[in-house]
Amino acid sequence: MKVEDDTLNFTRMFRKGKGLGRIDHYGRIIVSGMGGSGISGDIASAMCNSLQVPSVDPETDNHPVIAWKNYGLPSWANSKDCVICISYSGNTAETLSAASKAIELGCKLEVITTGGKLEKLASKNNCSITKVEKGHQPRAALPLLLTPLLYKLGIPNLDAQIEEVRKLPIMKERAQEIAEELKGRLPCIYANGVMMPVAYRWRCQIEENAKQMALHHEIPEMNHNEIVGLENRAPNSITVVLIRDNQENEITRKRFTATRRAVLRLRMKSYSDLKIVDVSAEGESPLARMMSCVLLGDLVSLKLAEMNKVDPGPVEVIEDLKTELSRLDGK
């Protein structure tokens, strides 16, 4: 399936998870996954841990969800933790290593995958396996990977949130306008709280689909470092993208206003070629708010791919790197 077709089908790929229930675990949950699969862990973690979103289950205490993107597991992991490994191909080295570590430590392990070595490992160890449809690019399969994860985590009102996502508009014209502001420039994407994984998704989709560099950072943290980097005329022309939640609190609203004004003053001062693009979430529920901006960013990255005259689908350098690593591992 082409990335372009999947993107136009994005909202419909969210389906209510018949038969998918909450996992029987009330402690820490570590979500392991890389790249296009790993972003589901970031989104789930933001939804469960963010100040703006009610916690997974207010009845139970202490239910942190941590996204993990490396080999093995964090040094503090132990047998009381639950590990959910997500890999679209089922063959990603870091995720396989996390699954093996989980088994070694005696953690509860569940996997979400199309198959591969991860399915084999999970099946050999009698772990729960959620199979996902094959034939997509992992990053374009986000709805297919994210939905079972959110059901497993027991996100409140998930059926209603998915219903809302399915009704989101596909803003092709807005995407075209934004892509024109980003063409041939360095997008510096800033967000806060629950919108942080969205900013990261924008960056990764621009990089993978449009084959163009992008940066992202968090407000307020960027107010303490990266904003100084905008002070001098940069080698690249920069477009600052501000991704805003439509339900942001007062403190965050003031932060964005102050940051926007500071960026405009820097532009005046250094005569730099600096543009600002504002993006705001649509919808009510946390999932719809996040997915409205994810979809817009995905569309922007495809428009940019068109402008950059590149095929958004293949990511040869990632594949070559994986092959090279297996060779080094003697596999």
Q: Which helix (H) or strand (E) holds 288?
A: helix 286-307
CB-CB contact of 55 with 45 (8 Å) = no
Question: Rule CB under 6 A: is residue 41 a binding residue for ligand F6R?
Answer: no
> Which of residues 283 and 312 has its CB atom nearest to ligand F6R in the complex?
312
Question: Rule CB under 6 A: is residue 301 a binding residue for ligand F6R?
Answer: no
What one-character DSSP code corresponds to residue 22?
Answer: -
Quote the tokens at residue 42: 């970031």
Exactly one of 124, 167, 224, 331 is catalytic; name it. Answer: 224
Choices 86-94, 176-184, 213-221, 297-305; region in contact with ligand F6R by CB under 6 A: 86-94
What one-character DSSP code corresponds to residue 26?
Answer: -
Q: Which of 87, 161, 239, 285 binds ligand F6R (CB under 6 A)?
A: 87
CA distances (Å), origin 288, targets 134, 195, 243: 25, 11, 14
Choices 32-40, 54-62, 262-270, 295-303; region in contact with ligand F6R by CB under 6 A: 32-40
Choices 83-91, 210-218, 262-270, 287-295; region in contact with ligand F6R by CB under 6 A: 83-91
Which among 189, 286, 200 is positioned nearest to 245, based on CA atoms?
Answer: 286
Establish whether the linkage from the previous residue to 220 is cis, with ω within 30° of 0: yes
Quote the tokens at residue 140: 């374009």
Question: Rule CB under 6 A: is residue 283 a binding residue for ligand F6R?
Answer: no
The distance of closest approach from Cβ of residue 39 to ligand F6R in the complex, given in angstroms and rounded to an integer, is 8
> Which of residues 95 and 239 has its CB atom nearest to ligand F6R in the complex?
95
Question: Rule CB under 6 A: is residue 37 a binding residue for ligand F6R?
Answer: yes
Catalytic-residue membership of 322: yes
Q: 95-114: which residues touch ligand F6R (CB under 6 A)?
A: 95
**Cα–Cα–Cα angle for 279, 280, 286, rounded to 5 degrees:** 135
Q: Which of 25, 108, 139, 303 binds ligand F6R (CB under 6 A)?
A: 139
What one-character DSSP code corresponds to residue 189?
Answer: E
CB-CB contact of 23 with 85 (8 Å) = no
CB-CB contact of 31 with 149 (8 Å) = yes
Catalytic-residue membership of 224: yes
Place of tokens 């409205």: 292
> Which of residues 159 and 329 has its CB atom nearest to ligand F6R in the complex?
329
Question: Rule CB under 6 A: is residue 208 a binding residue for ligand F6R?
Answer: yes
Catalytically active residues, by annotation: 208, 224, 322
* Residues near ligand F6R (CB under 6 A): 34-37, 87-89, 92, 95, 137-139, 208, 315, 318
